[in-house]
Each structure stands twice: as structure tokens, then as C-alpha cells.
Amino acid sequence: MVPVEQDRTGANGRCWPACIASILEIPLSEIPEFSTEPNQWLVDVQEWLATLGLYYVQVKPDDPAVQAAFQSGGTVWTVMEGMSPRGGQHAIVAKNGEPYFDPHPQDGTGRMLVNVACFGLLCQRFD
């Protein structure tokens, strides 16, 4: 995991792409702009990740499967999604289920999340 700061904040910010860039250790510029429509966003994300042999799954924090993954040993990097202390939805990088890196620029407005809605897991495709 290599921390990548988001290049745009606010309602159309790029926190989620910055988290993915951090986890995959790639430049943020390699992640395309995805639709801002909720239903289309995930379609766009899955199509792009498929080119990398991956897919994305969102799991509720209390799901036993995700909790088992965090306790299985080794390091599990995920995207943690929820409410920002600045208001609005936000994404950060989590390590073994715990907040680890916030891609929002350091500006004194708050870090990490005030609540967790889900964990986003990058999974490998086996075709």
C-alpha cells in the first residue's frame, strides 16, 4: 500500500479512486473518471477492474465473512466507506478492518470516518 492523496475534494471528489490507487500502488491518473450515477458507477468500476483481473465487493461491517478475513492472518487492505467528519460520503484505506489512511488532503477539517457503512474488497477474478 502506497498512500495516494485525492486530487479533487467535495461532492465530486476522488477519495475512492485514491484509495484504490493506494491499495494497487498505481498512479491516480491510471484510474478513469466513473459515472456519478449510483447504479452506473458500480458498472463502470466493475468494467474497469475486469481489465485488471479484479472485481469489487461491498460488505457490511458486521458481515461474518469480512470479519473472518480480518482475523485470518496477514494483511488485508480494504476500502472503508462511510460518513466523513466534514459531512458527506467518504472513502479511506483500512488495514485489517481498522482505519489506516485518509486520502483527503490535510486541511484541519477532520480525518477518517465518523461511521462505517461498508468495506470494499478488491477480489481476484479467475476466468
Residue 49: which of 12, 81, 23 has the closest Cα?
23
Q: How many helices (H) and strands (E) does the chain have?
A: 3, 5
Residue 123: which of 62, 59, 67 has the closest Cα?
59
Q: So where are the chain's domains?
A: 15-124
For residue 106, what pLDDT band results from cuts at 50, 70 and 90?
confident
CB-based contacts of 74: which residues, under 8 Å, 6+ apart? none
Distance CA 80, CA 78 (A): 6
Distance CA 45, CA 109 (A): 29
Tens digits of residue pLDDT in 72-91: 888 999 999 999 999 999 99
pLDDT at 104: 96
pLDDT at 78: 97
